[in-house]
Copies of this chain bind each other. A is one copy, B any other.
């Protein structure tokens, strides 16, 4: 059970966290901060937050828990604002899709109080964003990755873990480096590849003809190319090293496939497709069982 919980960013991610904690009866009071007065008003009207915050120092100094759920590019700025006024018992967590850069910023801004920050990444999202899209069950059965720091006390990690678990999430721990490599491979790279395909087609003189014949395979492959450009720019830059590494692995794979195709090597192509299909099916079967 938490007393006051302060949420920076009352959109899909922060709003759903607030709704889930309230639904679980785990937060006495939720205060929301937002960049736009419209979002804050909406969050109040929807009962996502109990109050809109205006004075950061006042709200944060006696908060039990602070969630930073702004776009990754704004995280450092929020850290700089809350660091001087953190209460001694106040814990901070975040929801950023990349962890190395968030922790680097935390080291700078929280300094001696770094131990009060327990980094997190909820693996949940949706096509829509904003307070209207927030739902109490967004995190239900979703994985929540914590990347605790050597400076965190075990009891503080446990407390932040409990907050995410109360939202219905399945909490797991990784190091920040593991996290960033894993998500470069299974999330950031696919987004980059999908954006690349659609962008490349828009450069053609016959683009209207091409899009006119695109069907269900294209639809699935490019669904993530409709993702938020600013958010994905920030993620790519924040996780640049791991993403470059994944991109190079992938380009080697494409080079091999290109060679097989060039020499008409159907056996190699089919073997590659077979392995991929089996792995994809096994993965999907595992997802269905969860």
Contacts and interface: CB of A to CB of B under 8 A. Distances in A.
Interface of A: 123-125, 142-143, 145, 178, 182-183, 185-187, 189-202, 204, 206-207, 209-211, 213-230, 232-234, 236-237, 240, 243-244, 247, 249-251, 253-254, 257-258, 261-262, 264, 266, 269-270, 272-277, 279-281, 283-284, 286-287
Contacts of A195: 257, 272-273, 276-277
B218 A221 contact: no
A248 to B, nearest CB: 8
A196 B254 contact: yes
Given A145-B213, A186-B213, A197-B189, A202 B275 contact: yes
Given A211-B286, A225-B276, A227-B277, 7 more contacts: A186-B211, A186-B218, A191-B217, A198-B276, A199-B272, A199-B279, A219-B284
B187 A217 contact: yes
A276 B253 CA distance: 24
Interface centre among A124, A125, A232 (most CB of B within 10 A): A232
B266 A226 contact: no
Contacts of A219: 284, 287
Contacts of A191: 217
B214 A186 contact: yes
26 contacts: A125-B216, A143-B213, A187-B217, A189-B197, A190-B197, A196-B254, A196-B272, A197-B276, A198-B277, A202-B276, A202-B279, A219-B284, A219-B287, A221-B223, A225-B273, A226-B284, A227-B273, A228-B277, A229-B270, A229-B274, A229-B276, A229-B277, A232-B273, A233-B273, A240-B262, A251-B258
A125 B216 CA distance: 8
Given A190-B221, A220-B224, A261 B276 contact: no
The secondary structure that dominates the A interface is: helix
A54 to B, nearest CB: 31
A270 B236 CA distance: 10
Contacts of A228: 277
A284 B215 CA distance: 10
Which of A186, A253, A270 lies at the interface centre, i.e. has the most chain B CB atoms within 10 A of its CB? A186
